[in-house]
Structure 1
Amino acid sequence: MNQPPHSPRPPDWLRPPGVAAGTWQYVHQRTIARHYDDFVADTPLCELDRRYVLETLAAVSADRATERAAESEDSRPVILDLGAGTGRLADPVRQLGYDVLAVDLSQSMLETLVERHGDQAAEHRRAAGTILPMRANLVQLDAIADSIADHAICMFSTIGMIQGRANRVRFLCHIARAVRPGGCLILHVHRRWAALREAGGMRRLLRSWIHSFRSDAEFGDATYAYRGLDKMFMHRFSEREIKSELKTAGWTVERIDRVGLDGSDLARSAWDASGLFLVCTR
């Protein structure tokens, strides 16, 4: 059966806090969800962040898993996957033995996740965990209980899709509340100053800086064309900025790794970095 290319988009006055106009259009574009996995399949950053998440969880989760097993024979460690999309990371994390609460604002993304990974979760339930989809705006996560998760992940610069510092801090506060003491948050952000290595990047940075004085926009905000959308929103961070927002929300940054310009590997210097991986604890 043919499906419409997009879900009916609610009027703009219903747009939730932290969701830019372009993002509001993005989450209601069904074709983006349908072809998302194919679109990012050749993106080096997707493979790098998958490896980074799995290796980091393997390093931090052994003691937590033992504690959870001691609580109940049926108890599994829980991961929050924030901006889960179609389950690109939720599925490999599930295979580590975690139950994954997969949170996304796009109903189409979550429907695609269930179609592709729902049966697998049921078939391998004894050996692996379960993916539990949840549709929600990342700024409004009051429905998630306190201390429900062992760890959380927010990758592929999902936090950069949240418009406004206050909204991003609110999101990080929700995660700090939802993750048990001692748990970690693994985060990826795009680095603002990487624009200096891009064609026309200096001009875009200057325009963003000037615009931040003339409106509610922030230095680092940008809109760009993306898969048929002309105003996709992304905020790119300085290292000081993302560390400040995490600290305000109660997170301690334990580790920072730089992502190389092409996203295929980690970089040694800031000059060669397109983004940052951060591992944080509370």
Structure 2
Amino acid sequence: MTDLKQPPPDPTPPQWRRPRGVAPGTWQYLHQRTIAVHYDAFVADTPLCHLDDEFLAELFPRRETAGCRVADLGCGTGRSAIPLARRGYDVVAIDLSRPMLQNLMRRVTQEIPTDSQPDSPVGRIFPVQANLVELDSLADDSIDHTICMFSTLGMIQGRANRNAVLQHGRRMTRNGGRLVIHVHHRAAWFAEPGGMRRWLASAVKAWTRKDHEFGDHVYAYRGLSQMFLHRFSQREITTAVRQAGWTVDQVHRIAADGTGFLSRRPRLPSKIGGFIVVAQ
């Protein structure tokens, strides 16, 4: 566990220090203090964030007894972790971004009550600064449930590295525990300006270059020119989850505008913005 009171690291560390699975643009993102400071305001009106929150609230309702532990992979500033703690869950909040974790703990001191009642427990939040690909320091069977929301898995570069994240989650999670994971859909590109060109470019690069996988995308984001995101097909994400040792229970298709779930598969794949997968 990281001592968050230590002096902040160099905001622009050299690229050779990048850990496994971290793309060059993501390395910048992780160390941009201004992005962490304004993150909550930036996503406040994002429909997908509200959908995530509502889904997790239904899947993890208020507890009457303390002690259930949830690992939040890529916790950011606590958008999921803090509501879970309020509902009585202990949260192991894992992120590689020190600024994000520092803002998370500021929020904890302001928003988490300290007077927990026996019939309405308040959970604790344990911040851990770590690369999601390298979670060997966390013990086997030490977590009850694992979540990885808001396309955090897609920010990991390389299929082998993304699989390692899912395998760590399986190793850490006790039998009977859940995995909840959100990813963006590759075909949603077709509904975006220039999306067909990006889809074709990604397909060609995946065929001709070993360092590119179909669905990889580098784009400009909040002042950063090389932000990385991998977009999935439904088969790709469910296969990866199963190969990591999970049993897929539910696959929810998210509408392209992020406002809700689709009750059935649409005729146009571009109508699907992403997926939330629930596995045991």
TM-score, with structure 2 as normaliser: 0.90
The CA deviation at 1:9 is 2.3
The corresponding residue for 2:85 is 94
Residue pair 2:114, 2:122 contacting (<8 A) in 1 also? no
Given the alignment of the two structures, is residue 261 of structure 1 paired with residue 256 of structure 2, yes or no? yes
Gaps of 5+ in 1: 70-74
1:237 aligns with 2:240: no
1: CA distance, partners of 2:116 / 2:77: 19
What is the distance in 1 between the residues matched to 2:81 and 2:202? 34
Aligned to 2:273: 274
Structure 1 CA distance, aligned partners of 2:238 and 2:115? 39
Q: CA deviation at 1:6?
A: 9.1
Q: Which amino acid aligns with 1:135?
A: Q
- % identical equivalent positions: 51
What is the aligned partner in structure 1 of residue 26 from structure 2? 23
Structure 2 partner of 1:190: 184
Question: How far does residue 119 in structure 1 lie from its aligned partner after superposition?
Answer: 4.7
User: How many angstroms apart in 2 are the aligned matches of 1:111 and 1:122?
Assistant: 18
Secondary structure in structure 2 of the residue aligned to 1:254: strand
Of stretches 239-248 and 174-183 in structure 1, the one that deviates more from structure 2 is 239-248
In structure 2, the residue matched to 1:72 is none
Indicate the SS of the match to 1:202.
helix
Matched, 1:9 2:8: no
- Superposition pairs for residues 30-179 of structure 1, below 5 Å? 30-58=33-61, 76-121=67-112, 123-126=114-117, 127-179=121-173
Kept in 2, the 8 Å contact 1:220–1:236? The answer is yes
Distance change in 2, residues 1:105/1:249 (3 Å): same
CA contact (8 A) 1:122 1:130 kept: no
- Between 233-242 and 263-272, the greater mean CA deviation after superposition: 263-272
Q: For 1:18 and 1:56, how far apart are their aligned partners in 2? A: 29
Post-superposition CA distance 1:202-241 (Å, at most 9, x none): 1110000111122211000001110000110000000111
Give the residue type in structure 2 aligned to 1:132: F
Residues 1:11 and 1:125: Cα distance change in structure 2 (over 3 Å): farther
Give the letter for the 2:165 counterpart: F
Are 2:199 and 1:205 aligned?
Answer: yes
Q: Structure 1 pair 6/261, CA: closer, same or farther in 2 (3 Å)? A: farther
Partner amino acid, structure 2, of 1:109? M
Give distance in 1, aligned partners of 2:249 and 2:58. Answer: 15
Q: Which amino acid aligns with 1:93?
A: L
Gaps of 5+ in 2: 1-7
Q: CA deviation at 1:35?
A: 0.2
Residue-by-residue CA offset, 1:87-130 (whole Å, 9 max, x unaligned): 01101111111100000000000000001113543624443101
Residues 151, 184 of structure 1: 8 Å contact kept: yes
Q: How far is 1:15 from its partner?
A: 0.3
The answer to which structure has the higher helix fraction is 1
Letter in 2 for 1:105: L
State the secondary structure of the residue aligned to 1:54.
helix
TM-score by length of 1: 0.90
Q: CA 1:224 to 1:124, structure 2 compared with 1: closer, same or farther past 3 Å?
A: farther
> Contact (CA 8 Å) 1:28, 1:106: kept in 2 or not?
yes
* SS at structure 2 position matched to 1:138: coil
Deviations 1:59-98 (CA, angstroms, capped at 9, x unpaired): xx97xx8xxx6xxxxx610000111000011011111111
- Aligned equivalents of 2:207, 2:221: Cα separation in 1: 26
Cα distance change, pair 151–116 in 1 and its aligned pair in 2 (3 A): same
Assess if the C-alpha contact under 8 Å between 1:103 and 1:133 holds in 2: yes
